[in-house]
Amino acid sequence: MDLLFLFLLLVQSAGFCYIIYRLYQRRTVATLALAAGQIAVAAFLIFSYNQGVYREPFVIFTAFVVGVSAPFTLFYLDVAALRKKIKDRFGISLTCFLYQNDHDELLKNNVKTKYVDDVLQPRAESIQADDVMGEIRVERADTSKNIQRQLEAASKKYDEEDYAGAYSAYQIIEKVFNRSPSLYMNIGNVEYDRGDFEAAAKNYARGIECAGHKDFEHDDMSEILGNLYYNLGNACFLSQKYARAIEAYKSARELLKDYSNALFNLSFCHAMDFEETGDTDKAIDAFIRLVEDMPGNVHAWFQYGKCLLKINNIPQAIECFKKVVGEDITFYEAWYYLAIAYDESGMVNDAVRAYYTSIQIKKDFVDAYNNLGVLLSITGRHGEALKVLKTAIRIKPGDTELIYNIGLTQYALGRHEEALDEFLACEKLRPDDGSVFYMISLVYMHLGKPQESLEYLEKAIAKEPSLSIRASKESVFKQYIESGEHGRLFAQ
């Protein structure tokens, strides 16, 4: 049989199957006409083949236009419409289950390489090599030259963001002379920029100690000392040691001529300290002043929104988080809290979109996966929820919250064997959790194993007596509620 004829016939058959399916779904006259046309073209092609004229241009053109192009064009348009419908409803793309949404291009163009100084006003800069050298007092000329070379090498490596190399060079200098405040400022900045804020704070504190050494008793150290205190405040803030940061910023304000940055960071630190200690009202007042003074600081708006969420001021919290992501679309935590706020206000589809966006920006953000999976399952989208939660468990194997929620989702899907496996795994990790025992009891009852079920129900109620009330409302336990042997397990 001729290969061209066979190809045309097979493709037309596939197109005809889709047209029949489309006719069943839509029942339109146009689709019926196209199905009739498909049959006619197939018959025409077979007749032409039998007559030996099917390779004539007219025959081939008709077969391609009506038999091939028309059904596959409709298929493409239907898929495009379905994709748009899914995105409009769920905020996800048909072609990529996770991470694909309307923000793709914006996200690609806005990924930040450094995060450190986004929260606060920036730390004070490192000291130039010549100025550091001015503080290093050694008697031998050859030693001085070697130190100068090491300082220049450290500065070069630091500019190239080779922080390990810069740190090694500074350590060599420190072994020779360990009383330079500027040297410890630079070492602290190396640690700060590579994200080790506790190590940075230790070096800034060491620099502050050095500034009081007798070598510098006749020098004006106010500027370098003020900058050391300021950077110490930043490092402590980013280590969430707010009380220590507050003291450092206060010292910086007393020493620096331009203390506006220290004042802002001090205010931010006070606000965070209020939030940390649970004084939400004072924190809100502090953040209101901050966003009024610096309306472009997204982190002040973000923290303000979190405080509003705590006091259940959902509409205003949503506005705060929307402002944050409007300014910085890559702020994944703001998308996460925006999703929580949307969920609290009943805006489920918006919450789902926000969770997906958060995951797209930070693909290992397990909390967002977990919340999203739970939300999807609550709204009846169990299959989608299961995909999300299983993605999360691959990122964080052994997470008991994820295992438990996967079990709940499997249970909701009626997959009782799979649910039992998840809950039994969870039992090993949470041996004192009554809710896990309760779910195992439910699953065993569904699997037709009442003895095992009632044993686990007894364990569950022993851990959490309130589960007795819940059990009495479950239809699966109905025949045991009034029984003399097991009735004691159920609240009457």
Banded pLDDT at 5 (limits 50, 70, 90) = low
Q: What is the mean pLDDT of residues 266-295?
A: 84
3-state secondary structure of 422: helix
Is domain 122-266 given the CATH code 3.90.650.10 in the classification? no
Q: Is the pLDDT of residue 103 over 60?
A: no
| Helical (H) or strand (E) element with 458 | helix 450-463
Which region among 96-105, 238-247, 431-440, 455-464 has the lowest average model confidence (pLDDT)?
A: 96-105
Which part of the chain has CATH 1.25.40.10?
A: 122-266, 278-363
Rounded to 10 deg, the angle between the 260-276 and 280-293 helix axes is 150
Site of tokens 């070492």: 187
Q: Is the pLDDT of residue 111 over 50?
A: no
* 192 class by beta-carbon count within 10 Å (0-12 exposed, 13-18 middle, 19+ buried): buried
Banded pLDDT at 86 (limits 50, 70, 90) = low
Q: Round the CA-based radius of gyration of the chain to a whole number and report it.
A: 34
Q: Do residues 211 and 221 make contact, with C-beta atoms less than 8 angstroms apart?
A: yes
Q: What is the mean pLDDT of residues 330-347?
A: 95
Q: What is the mean pLDDT of residues 72-101?
A: 57
What would the CATH number be for the domain defined by 278-363?
1.25.40.10
